[in-house]
Structures are given as C-alpha cells and as structure tokens.
C-alpha cells in the first residue's frame, strides 16, 4: 500500500482497529444556569418556588459522602483540610474541581494506583463521555 493511500485511509477514519474509545473523559457538571431576570426572581419569590430539587441535593450529598470516605483513612493535615473543603462544597462542580487535590493527597500518602482506584469511585458522580465524541443526552441531563 502506498504511503499516500495509507494517509488517506487514516484521515477517512478507516484505519482504526477498534470501535471502542480508548479513553473516557470525566466532564465537569454544567455550571448553574444563567441568573433569572429581576421580574422572574420576583415572580418565583411570590409563588414560593423551591430553588433546588430534593434529587439534586441528594446527589450532592452522596458525592460529598463518597469524597470524604475516600480520605477517611488519611489522618494527615492536608487530607483533613481537603475532607473539610469537600464536606462544605456547594455544588458538584465545586467537588469536580477538588478531584486533582484528592488524587494528589492519596498518591502522596498511599500510592498512585490507590489514588486511581479512589478517583474512579468519585468519578461516578460526574458526566462521562468517550474522548472525541460529542456529549450524550445523559451527559447533558446530569448537570
């Protein structure tokens, strides 16, 4: 096969040997929606609309609990500080940003493989998609 033909095949996407994605990306949850207008806020206030659904609060509580559990056996100052920050996180997005700190603390005090294992348990709370693919409808609903 000539090199130009091989390059053409690769560019057309027929050169892939596997249909499975090689990597799964964990995405941050969607940020809070845009703020309501003043009139909309007054309308909601007058009609006593609840700002958060019980389901979203329960999801955040579960994620916080798992995050704190991942640090439970580490009696070090940096782990206790991170546990405190994760226990008081106000959103899944805030917890998502603490993942790197979790990995760093666990890898430092245990091992990288243990940090990978614990981070994988935490990642179940966040949207996932295969790299290079567009977000799925489940990813969009998760935020």
- Which one has a higher pLDDT value, 90 or 129? 90
The pLDDT score that the predictor gives to residue 81 is: 96
Tokens of 130: 């295969």
The pLDDT score that the predictor gives to residue 54 is: 66
pLDDT tens track for 59-86: 899 999 999 999 999 999 999 999 999 9
* Nearest C-alpha neighbor of 25 from the set 97, 130, 141: 130
CB 29 within 8 Å of CB 96:
yes
pLDDT tens track for 25-51: 777 766 655 566 777 767 766 766 455
Residue 140 pLDDT exceeds 50? no
The pLDDT score that the predictor gives to residue 80 is: 95
CA distance 86 to 75: 16
- Average pLDDT of the chain, as a whole number: 77
- Which one has a higher pLDDT value, 15 or 72? 72
DSSP string, 29-44: PPPPPPPPPHHHHHHH
Angle between helices 112-123 and 54-71 (to 10 degrees): 170
Q: How far apart are the first and last CA of the chain?
A: 47
Looking at the chain, how many residues does it have?
143
Residue 133 pLDDT exceeds 60? no
CB 73 within 8 Å of CB 117:
no
- All residues at 6 or more sequence positions from 110 whose CB lies less than 8 Å from its CB, including other chains: 74
């Amino acid at each position: 096969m000539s090199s130009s033909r091989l390059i053409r095949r690769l560019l057309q996407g027929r050169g892939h040997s596997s249909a499975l994605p090689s990597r799964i990306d964990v995405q941050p949850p969607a940020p809070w929606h845009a703020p309501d207008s003043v009139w909309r806020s007054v309308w909601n206030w007058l009609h006593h609309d609840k700002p958060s659904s019980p389901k979203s609060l329960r999801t955040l509580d579960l994620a916080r609990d798992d995050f704190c559990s991942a640090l439970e056996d580490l009696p070090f100052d940096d782990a206790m500080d991170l546990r405190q920050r994760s226990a008081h996180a106000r959103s899944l997005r805030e917890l998502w940003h603490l993942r790197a700190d979790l990995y760093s603390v666990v890898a430092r005090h245990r091992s990288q493989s243990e940090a990978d294992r614990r981070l994988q348990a935490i990642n179940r709370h966040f949207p996932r998609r295969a790299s290079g693919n567009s977000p799925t409808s489940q990813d969009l609903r998760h935020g």
